[in-house]
Amino acid sequence: MKGRVWVVEDDTEMAELLRSQLARREYDVRALASGSDALEQLASEDVDVVVTDVRMRGLDGIQLCDRLREARPDVPVLVITAFGSLDTAVAAIRAGAFDFLAKPFEIEELVFRLDRALQHRRLSEEVKRLRATQRPQVEELAGESEAMRRLRELVARVAPHDSPVLILGETGAGKERVARALHRLGLRPAGPFVALNCAALPEHLIESELFGHARGAFTDARAARTGLLVHANGGTLFLDEIGELPLGLQPKLLRALQEQRVRPVGGEQEVTFDARVVAATNRDIESAVEDGRFREDLFFRLDVLRIDVPPLRSRGGDVLLLAQQFLAERAARAGKPITGISRAAAEKLLQYVWPGNVRELQNCIERALALTQHEQLMPEDLPDRIRSYGRAHVVVASDDPAELVPLEVVEQRYVARVMESVGGNKTLAAQILGLDRKTLYRKLKQNE
């Protein structure tokens, strides 16, 4: 069969004539009496081309085109009418029709247009298939958990856009890996990837690093220096720990990002640059904005596209997958014949909550590899904090009502425990507790 064709026509004789003529020409044809029938069938069956009359009772052909465009834009629609006019043709095309044919017509003319519509459908399907097979691989982000699959999908969607990105996540969760993936898959992969840790330098050095300085701008400025904003021209500027950027530098950075030009410290001439800005922080930056520790206008300038990096404790079996990868890499480098991780050691790794995330796991495996005297990593090779770790539970240890605490106290203790586990990040704590931020603030105030 050439293809599946639905003929939507409320004139029974005309519908049967078209069905029989097209069936003789090797189309798989079904006649439907109304547009509503076609939409109902489409919910459970597929079709390659829809041929519809314009004048029908109930849902007319133009309305059917419009509904099909919303439900199945990949299905071409051929509109037929005995009331052929330019206005009707324009209305059909605007409603999403692929082609338009006026009565009376020769059956061979209809066949020609049907074949063209089928070819269009097959080409569209091939393009979709090729796009699916060529979806960019986010190789920097390993893991088979649902959280990591969602993260890779989001990075692949965000990367082709040149807008600023704000990456949120705990220390060691892999925020720089996300930034490098955005750079590699973005519009500027051939350009430089320039990174600055805003927490690693004092204010006057950060200013010089970002904006550059003129010769003699300050003591020891013996020569002019180009800032990182200009160095990143044509590429990506990664501002790590942006929440630590001194408040006094924030308006200057905001202006530079908005104007895409920067004036070096002590300089008179402005220099233009064109770089994608990716910022990251492990801090609760929205709380910092509310408290006046981070400028709201800069926050909104950076928070155009947002990516939340999941902590390692929420990634399930990825802990063992990453541990095996780190072990294989470091064992090969060290020349040690380590075959894997023992079952008992694996259980310890899975039980631990990894407050330091992937970086902590990496360091743990490197330490265990250096200490082990076995072919597999054993529990005794792991750090004490991991071997002795036990999950916290709320325990009711007494049946004596006099010794039991009120529910309010249990809630206060649990909120305090969650806050401790997330390092004081109120936004993350609110997500874990299932509260909005204002409610969390109120409960924290009550705990004081």
The mean pLDDT of the chain is 86
Question: 203 pLDDT band (50/70/90 cuts)?
Answer: confident
* pLDDT number for residue 221: 66
Query: Which of 414 and 199 is assigned the larger pLDDT?
Result: 199
Q: Which residues pair with 32 in a beta bridge?
A: 8
Q: Look at residues 35, 41, 5, 42 and name the one whose alpha carbon lies nearest to residue 22.
A: 5
Residue 175 in this model has a pLDDT that exceeds 90: yes
Mean pLDDT, range 17-21, rounded to an integer: 92
Lowest-pLDDT range of 139-148, 269-278, 397-406 = 397-406
Question: Which amino acid appears at position 154 of this protein?
Answer: L
Mean pLDDT, range 45-59, rounded to an integer: 89
Residues 326, 363: Cα–Cα separation, whole Å: 9
Q: Look at residues 294, 276, 275, 274 and name the one whose alpha carbon lies nearest to residue 286.
A: 294
Lowest-pLDDT range of 111-115, 188-192, 198-202, 400-404 = 400-404
Is there a contact between 383 and 364 (Cβ–Cβ < 8 Å)? yes
**Burial class of 193 by CB neighbour count within 10 A (0 to 12, 13 to 18, 19+):** buried
Residue 319 in this model has a pLDDT that exceeds 90: yes
Question: Which amino acid appears at position 261 of this protein?
Answer: R
What stretch of H or E contains 28? strand 28-32
Residue 399 in this model has a pLDDT that exceeds 60: no
DSSP classification of residue 265: B
Count of other CB atoms within 10 angstroms of residue 116: 15
Query: Which of 231 and 81 is assigned the larger pLDDT?
Result: 231
Rg (CA), the chain: 32
Lowest-pLDDT range of 2-11, 134-143, 301-310, 432-441 = 134-143
User: What percent of the chain clears pLDDT 70, i.e. is strictly above it?
Assistant: 90
Residues 348, 97: Cα–Cα separation, whole Å: 62
Question: Which amino acid appears at position 421 of this protein?
Answer: S
Residue 394 in this model has a pLDDT that exceeds 60: no
225-226/212-213 β-pairing: antiparallel
Residues 49, 30: Cα–Cα separation, whole Å: 11
Q: Which residues pair with 6 in a beta bridge?
A: 30, 50
Question: Which amino acid appears at position 332 of this protein?
Answer: A
**What are the tokens at 442?**
């109120």
Is there a contact between 351 and 382 (Cβ–Cβ < 8 Å)? no
Cα angle, residue 267 at apex, residues 264 and 271 outer, rounded to 5°: 55
Question: 428 pLDDT band (50/70/90 cuts)?
Answer: confident
Residues 7, 33: Cα–Cα separation, whole Å: 8
* pLDDT number for residue 84: 58
Residues 31, 11: Cα–Cα separation, whole Å: 10
Q: Which of the listed ranges 178-187, 199-208, 413-422 does the model predict with the highest average pLDDT? A: 178-187
Residues 249, 207: Cα–Cα separation, whole Å: 7
* pLDDT number for residue 380: 94
Residues 50, 48: Cα–Cα separation, whole Å: 7
Lowest-pLDDT range of 30-44, 268-282, 330-344, 402-416 = 402-416
Question: 388 pLDDT band (50/70/90 cuts)?
Answer: confident
SS3 content of the chain, % helix, strand, coil (to 5): 50, 15, 35
Question: 415 pLDDT band (50/70/90 cuts)?
Answer: confident
Residues 241, 196: Cα–Cα separation, whole Å: 9
**Chain-centre distance for alpha carbon 10:** 47
